[in-house]
Every structure is written in C-alpha cells, then in structure tokens.
Structure 1
Amino acid sequence: MIWNWTQPDWPQFTYDAASLAPLENQFLLSSGEVIGAVRHFKDEDRDLLRIELLSDEAVKTSEIEGEMLDRQSVQSSLRRQLGLASEDRPVKPQERGIAEMMIDVYQSWHTPLDHPTLYRWHAMLMTENRHLETIGGYRTHADAMQIVSGRHDKPAIHYEAPPSLRIPTEMESYIDWFNTSAPDAGLPLPPLTRAGLGHLYFESIHPFEDGNGRIGRALAEKSLAQSLGRPSLIALAHTIESARKTYYDQLERNQRTLDVTEWLAYFAGTVIKAQKTTLERVAFYIAKAHFYDRFRGRLNDRQEQAVARMFREGPQGFKGGLSAENYIAIARASRATTTRDLADLVAKGALIRTGERRHTRYALNLD
C-alpha cells in the first residue's frame, strides 16, 4: 500500500490555493463575528462562557476517540485549572488530563511549538494509563503503527504510519514546518490552510502510541489561534464529532496522496461550520444569562433543578422536548407536584408548552 509518507516528495503537500481563497476570506469574516459576540460578556460571564466552550470541546474531542467523559467533572477540573471556584466533586484522571491539556492549549497559543509541549500534552492525556510503553514521549515500539478495524483475524488496515525509528526526524521536520508557517514567521500560510495541513501532517506521522487525534486537533486550535492573535474558542471537535465518519473517511483518503486539496476544502468547511456553531452557542449562553436574570428568586428548588438540567442539554434541548416523566426523574417529584410545578413555570413564562396529554412537552422560553 502506498501511503503519503512513502512517496518521494514527502512531506511536500500540494493543493489548489485559489480554490481555498473564498473559504479563507469567509473564515476571517466569521472570526470577527465570534470575537464581537464574546465581547458582549462581562468578565465574570466571559469566564463562564470560556468554561462552557472548553468543556464542550474537551468532551467532544474525547468522544471522537470513543471515550465518554462526564461534562460536569471536566468543568470542575477546568475551573480549578483557571483558579475559579469549583464544586468539590470527584474527577477521573482522564477528565483531569483533558482539562489540563485544554487549558494549556488555551494559555500557550502564542508560543512556538516544541517537543516538550507535545510531551506535556501527551502526559496530561495519558495520566495513570497503564497500557502504554511510553507516556510523555514519542513511540519507540518496533511494531507497525496501524489504524485498523474489523475482525481481529482479518483486520482492515486504514493507514500505517512511519516506523518508530523515523519519528524523531519526522517530528523535528514537523515542528520546524509548524513554526516557520506561523503568521509572523518566514513562510506564513493562510489560517485554514495552515491548520488543515498541520492536522493532516501530524496525524500522518502519528508520533504517539495513543492520543494522536486529540493532540492533532489541539494543534489545529493552536494554529488558528496564532492566525487570529487570540484563542479561537470555536467548536471544532464538536463539529467533527457530529460527522465523525466523514472526518475519518477524509483522513484515510488523503493519507494516500500528497495532493490534499480535497482535505483542505473539507477541513476549511468544517472550521467555518464550527464558527457558526460557536455563534449559536454564544447566543444560547447570553439567553441563559438573561433567563436567570428574569427568574432569579422566582423558582422553587425543584424547578431550579429541572431548569438547570434543561440548560445542560445545550441549545438543542431535550430531544422532543421535556416531558412530565423527565421532570419527575430530575426533580424526584410526585406526579401531582410535577403537574403544579410545570403549570407554574408556563404561567410565569419560563417554559413553553406544546402538545396535549401524553404528548405534552416543554421547552425553555429564551425569547
């Protein structure tokens, strides 16, 4: 099988820059919208927004790899990392590790990339992992590094990365490319082109035993932040996870060629979609703040608990809307109490009711 790194011109990727120019322009315009939207927040609210967006990305970048994390635990760990008040709740090593890495990426976006940074991120992600030979360093095992699926006795090989002996040299070249392609360096590249190339390039080297996907997406965030001159805070992992199969299909196809125009167009479209998702989420958090301003002190403990649970579902809310059964489970209330509580929430304008009888559903009134 011919992989990109086996070809004579590796790692000289080629692409049609002219076809990507409109996407680059759209990205810069949308970036202004995102930055402007975040400026509407007060400092305290901006901290809360940052926690919300970072925790979303932490959970989703892990979900892409099939690892399910507790969002509230991740948020608690993020708060501690940022020196903010947090709940005293148990946090698993995986949740603490991804939170530490997200904060490190967020705070060190402007610094050049180097080996210690990548080692540090890997050590954070693999905290207390007992199954890897090397943690906080590049892989050294002699076995082939393959991406496979299917039956154990008849696996489908989607990709095979360079052997471990080549990794130090490959990563030296990668870091040099990353730093010299930065906006203020010798060979600057447009934002989406640089982020897309950087992600594919890194995933093709696959330098670690595990965690390459999460670190590769962190590198894309760092690249975009350097192009914008500030942390991007866009929902990149959230957007990739929503169409995970397409993401992996694109990676697989474009790891067999050095002409990566298709990959860059896909990645650029994904980033732009992520910006739109971020704007929607920012609007949602603004509406959330206004909601609590309107109803502060007007809801009982059960109603507060149910409303908080509804907000945790995000902009889409409960699938199909909140039912009475949902409320009973969340508030641990009787059916009669639930009926009174929901009717009161509708009368106060906190919830909107639709449907009748067993089809009755409720949604937050965020107008």
Structure 2
Amino acid sequence: MKWSWEQPDWPNFLYESKALAPLEQSFLVQSGEFVGACKHIGAGDREVLKIELISEEAVKTSKIEGEILNRDSVQASLRHQLGLGPQTPNIDPAERGISEMIVDLYRNFANTLNDATMFAWHKMLLADDKKIRVIGGYRTHEDPMQVVSGPDYKRMVHFEAPPSKRMTDEMIRFITWFNDTAPNGQTPLPALTRAGIAHLHFLCIHPFEDGNGRIGRALAEKSLAQNLNQPSLIALAYTIERKRKDYYAALERNNKELEITAWLTYFANTILEAQRNTIERVDFFVAKARFCETFKGQLNERQNKVITRMFKEGMDGFKGGLSANNYIKIADTSRATATRDLQDLVEKGAFTKTGELRHTRYALSLGEDRRGQ
C-alpha cells in the first residue's frame, strides 16, 4: 500500500468539517474556563504555575521519545531562560535544550513559521548528539527514513517518509500552508483542525534525522497558541504520554490515506482532554496554595517534609494513598512518632483518612470543607 505522500493528491488532506465543529466549540469554551481559572492566581504565583506547566510538557514530550529527563533540572533551566533565576551549573544538554525550545515557543508563538525557527529548535534539541549527521538542517542521507520496530530478522515498517531529496520542496509547501492557515493568513482554519493537520503533515514528511516527534508537537502547540492569540499552556505532551500507544496507533492508521477525519477527531479529543488536564492542574495549584497558607506555621518539620513530597507527586498523588509506612520512610522517623503526626494531621484537617488497621491510607485534604480553614 502507498504512503500518504505517494498519493496523487498529496498533500491535499480531506476531512468532514461538520464532524469537528462541536469539538472546535468545546475547545473555545474550555479555553475560556482556563483563563477564568487563572484569574484566581496572583502574578507571582502565576509565574510559578507557568514554570510547572511548561516543565511538565518539556519532560513529557521527551519521555514520549524514550528520553527521561530530570524535572528539577528542567525547571532550573526554564527559570534561567525566563529570567526568573540564576544559571544552574551542570545542567544536562538534553534538559537545557528542550527548555530553550519550549521557552522560544512560548515567547515567539505569534511569529510566522520559517526554516530558521525549526533549524534553531533542532539545534537546541540535538546539539550534543554525535550520531546525527545534520543538526540544524533537513536530512540529506540517501537511506530510507523509516519508523520500524522488532528485531532485524523480523522488522516491521510502520512508516516510510519521502526521500531526503524532496525535503526542501516538501517543507516549502508545509511552511506556506502553515502560515496561510493562521488566523491572519489567506485561508484560516479552526484551531483543532489546523493543529491536527499540521502535526500529521509534518510527521508524514519527517524532515529531520531525529527530533521530529518533539518538533511536531511543538508545531501543534504553536498552531493552537496562534489561534488563541496567547501561549496555550495546554498539557498536550502530558496527555499524549499517558496514552502513548493510542497516539502511535492513530498516527499509523492515518499515514496511508489523505482522508483524515478519524485522525483529526482523535487529535481534537486529545487536545480537549489536554485542556481539561491543564484546568485540573490549575485547580490543584490553587488548592495547594490555599492549603499551604491555611497550615502555615501549624506543622512540624516531619509533617512538612512528607506533605512536600506528596505535593511533588502532583494530581495523581500516591497511588492508593499515603500509608503509615510511607510516612515513616519519608520522614525517617519511628512508627510511634508517625502515628502521632498522622493523627495530628487528620485532627487539623490537613489529611483525610480512609480504611482501618494496615489498610489505613491518608490523602491531602484539598477540598473547601477543611476544619483547618
């Protein structure tokens, strides 16, 4: 079977706009909800939230590609890039590079797309990769560019991209389309439709030796930000990474045909889920701020250490809740002391308690009915 780029009408993608209309409307509604949620956050806390959101995207977009980064290092690099902190020594090149790319995307989302932007991103991501022949430029090798899996004797080809000799022409056409379909372009497209086509089109070309997935997701974020006229801060990579197999399966299902309604529906729903995840994370951030303010000065050093660790787990928290054994290990204390501390936290309204005996579990009390308020 031919690949999408081998079809006679490539890259004229076909889709049913009516199927996407309600999803586009939901995107606009949820965008308003996000703006409303952020209004409850002060300017200083907003900067902290911004770092948390974009650092999570940086870590997750790399994890999708199998690259595990240190979140604290990424956040330190982001703070420096955004002028919010000093330069931290010994930051890994991969962590510094993804931070530089995300900050460039955040600051310059409104700029028209060009080769120079993507070449700069590529250099940021892969400057220290000794295996890449062309860094900061489109691929030139003669070997087929394939996405494969399995051992050499039983290799499965999931996708093959256009030959390298076509990269210049393919990318001229892609960049022209991207800029023409922007809100102020000649043929503007709705937000979800444009982001979905941009991501799939770019990955079908696969113009770089490596880094195509991360740059392709950045282009989807850039597209959404342009349609919103502000940095999206949407948890797209965070959401994709949680269902990574579905993401790769959807790409594979839609790399052989130009009719892409199914892909656009999948990607639009993924973006809507990402929006909801972002709104939940903002709510969690607000609840965390309220919690810390409510119990400021009321907790001992051990309790603060455990609570800090719990907040670091994010919205998902400890799977199944915090146990007494968890508390003992984190606080480095005795069982008797842990029992007193946990009882005190429940009485103050900082923790909620479920279960009995060895099944007892504790969770942070982030609702509005805390007795400590």
Superposed CA offset, 1:201-224 (max 9, x none) = 000000111111111000000000
1: CA distance, partners of 2:221 / 2:117: 14
Give the residue type in structure 1 aligned to 2:229: G
Letter matched to residue 291 of structure 1: F
Q: Distance in 2 between matches of 1:94 and 1:69?
A: 8
The answer to which of 91-100 and 252-261 deviates more is: 91-100
Check the 8 A contact 1:73/1:90 in 2, yes or no.
no
Unaligned runs of 5+ in 2: 368-373
Deviation for aligned residue 1:245:
1.0
CA contact (8 A) 1:73 1:89 kept: no
Amino acid at match of 1:135: I
Q: Supply the distance in 1 between the matched residues of 2:248 and 2:365 (Cα, whole angstroms).
A: 38
Distance 1:299 1:85, change over 3 A: farther
Aligned to 1:239: 239
2:80/2:87 contact within 8 Å kept: no
Contact 1:76–1:89 under 8 Å retained in 2: no
Match of 1:75 in 2: 75
| Aligned equivalents of 1:296, 1:234: Cα separation in 2 | 31
> Displacement, 1:87?
9.2
Shift >4 Å, 4+ stretches = 86-90
Once the two structures are superposed, the pairs formed by residues 155-194 of structure 1 within 5 Å of their partners are 155-194=155-194
Counterpart-to-counterpart distance in 2, 1:285 and 1:89: 28
Gaps of 5+ in 1: none
User: What is the aligned partner in structure 1 of residue 203 from structure 2?
Assistant: 203
Q: Is the 8 A contact 2:144 2:160 kept in 1?
A: yes
Q: TM-score normalised to the size of structure 2?
A: 0.95
Which residue does the alignment assign to 1:338?
338
- Farther-moved stretch of structure 1 (80-89 vs 270-279): 80-89
| Aligned position for 1:22 | 22
Number of residue equivalences: 367
State the secondary structure of the residue aligned to 2:173.
helix
Query: What residue is the counterpart of 2:37 in the other structure?
Result: 37
Secondary structure of 2:150's match?
Answer: strand
Distance in 2 (alpha carbons) for counterparts of 1:281 and 1:255: 33
Describe the SS at the equivalent of 2:136. coil
Q: Aligned residue for 1:348? A: 348
Tell me which moved more, 233-242 or 325-334: 325-334
The residue type paired with residue 345 of structure 1 is L
Alignment partner, residue 371 of structure 2: none
Deviation at 1:319, TM superposition (A): 0.3
- Distance, in Å, in 2 between the alignment partners of 1:200 and 1:169 is 17
2: CA distance between counterparts of 1:131 and 1:119? Answer: 17
Q: Please give the alpha-carbon distance, in whole angstroms, between the structure 1 residues aligned to 2:39 and 2:75.
A: 22
What's the secondary structure of 1:153's corresponding residue? helix
Quote how far apart the aligned CAs of 1:86 are: 6.3
Residue pair 2:181, 2:194 contacting (<8 A) in 1 also: yes
After TM superposition, list the pairs within 5 Å mapping 1:84-163 onto structure 2. Answer: 84-85=84-85, 90-163=90-163
Inter-CA distance 92–333: structure 2 relative to 1 (3 Å threshold): farther
| SS of corresponding position for 1:77 | helix
Q: In the alignment, does 2:363 pair up with 1:363?
A: yes
Identity, in percent, stands at 59
What is the CA distance between 1:336 and its match in structure 2? 2.8
Post-superposition CA distance 1:86-121 (Å, at most 9, x none)? 695743221111111111111111000111110111
Decide which moves more: 198-207 or 124-133: 124-133
The Cα offsets for residues 300-336 of structure 1, whole Å up to 9 and x where unpaired, read as 2222121111111111210000112222222222323
1:9-65, Cα deviation, whole Å (9 max, x unpaired): 111111111111111111111111111111221110110111111111111111111
1:280 aligns with 2:280: yes
Separation (CA, whole Å) in 2 of partners of 1:131 and 1:357 = 55
CA RMSD after TM alignment: 1.4
Structure 1 pair 89/37, CA: closer, same or farther in 2 (3 Å)? farther
Residues 251-300 of structure 1 deviation map (CA, whole Å, 9 limit, x = unaligned): 11111001111100111111111111111111000000001111112222
